[in-house]
Amino acid sequence: MRAPFLSMLRVAAILGAGGLFSPGWVYAAAGLGATPATALLPEGAAWLLAGMAALVLFYCLVRAPWTEISGTSASHAWLVAAIVLALAWQLRVPLPGGAAIHFLGVTLIALMFGPHLGTLTLGLAALFSLYLGAGSLERFGLTVLLGAAGPCWAMHTLLRATQRYLPRHLFVYLLGVGLFGSALVLGLTAALQLGVYAALQGGHAGAVLIEQALPYALLLAWGEALTVGMLVTLFVIYKPQWMLSFDDRFYLQRAIARRDETR
């Protein structure tokens, strides 16, 4: 567990020395939505959500499978993923109504690192985003709960459901979970985040936001799901040590049994 944290400190020092951690313009963002920093959340509610997010991240820190990734390339991949996500979240598409949509990456992270380490990775990416000027501390708790912990555990629940009720086949994991499961979770995440953001705006502005932004968000969710499906397939083939949610003994049991019978 010590090595990944030392690597994280080194990366933070490099980024800080390079000037990437400049505050810049601060935006109040809840995953998909972004507007100039106005206090949409009451101060008490913001701090309550931040406290809940801190508890969730601490729980994930304790329960994360550090022993599984220790000494493997996955121990560095999860940190690199957090930095790449923080940078990818800066690429936003502004929409009518003051919102902006961007690549989430939450389902890919959930499949790669599981719910505990995945939530921790996304929380770390959210912290990096604060320094890059694409978030605010007041909205950090909402971002972690709605944009990290919720989707990660939804993806984990969906994975367990497919393992229990669907055949043990490789394509169930690649297509059923990696593609269509990602599309479902990403679509629900986009709708939930925009719904919360519209409720915070209230009135006619919130209704206009939902009407104009939701179709674009769902379209982006499907496009991201296609990308996630392709990346999951590539990682399962070439970097299976990065896919902690993939169990070859579970999905390839019949193929292994047939191979042994032919010997």
Tell me how far apart the alpha carbons of residues 143 and 62 are, in angstroms, rounded to a whole number: 21
Domain-embedded: residue 12: no
**Residue 97 has what pLDDT?**
58
Model confidence pTM above 0.85: no
30 within a domain of the structure (yes/no): no
- Is residue 18 assigned to a domain? no
Range of the domain at 213: 41-262
pLDDT given for residue 180 in this prediction: 96
Is 21 domain-assigned? no
Q: What burial class does residue 91 get, using C-beta atoms within 10 Å of its C-beta: 0-12 exposed, 13-18 middle, 19+ buried? A: exposed
- The verdict on residue 33 lying in a domain is no
Stretches where the chain sits below pLDDT 50 are 1-39
Domain annotation covers residue 19: no
Q: Would you say 53 and 141 are in contact if contact means Cβ atoms under 8 Å apart?
A: yes
DSSP the chain: -HHHHHHHHHHHHHHHHTTTT---S-EEEETTEEEES---S-HHHHHHHHHHHHHHHHHHHHHS-HHHHTTSTHHHHHHHHHHHHHHHTT--EE-TTS-EE----HHHHHHHHHHHHHHHHHHHHHHHHHHHTS--GGGHHHHHIIIIIHHHHHHHHHHHHHHHHS---HHIIIIIIIIIIHHHHHHHHHHHHHHHHHHHH-HHHHHHHHHHHHHHHHHHHHHHHHHHHHHHHHHHHH-GGG-TT--HHHHTHHHHHHHHHH-
pLDDT for residue 233: 95
Task: Give how many domains the chain has, as a whole number.
Answer: 1
Q: What is the CATH number of the domain that holds 89?
A: 1.10.1760.20
For the stretch 143-163, pLDDT in tens is 899 889 999 999 999 999 999
Whether 4 maps to a domain, the answer reads: no
pLDDT at position 188? 94
Task: Decide if 67 is inside a domain.
Answer: yes
Using an 8 Å Cβ cutoff, are 168 and 254 in contact? yes
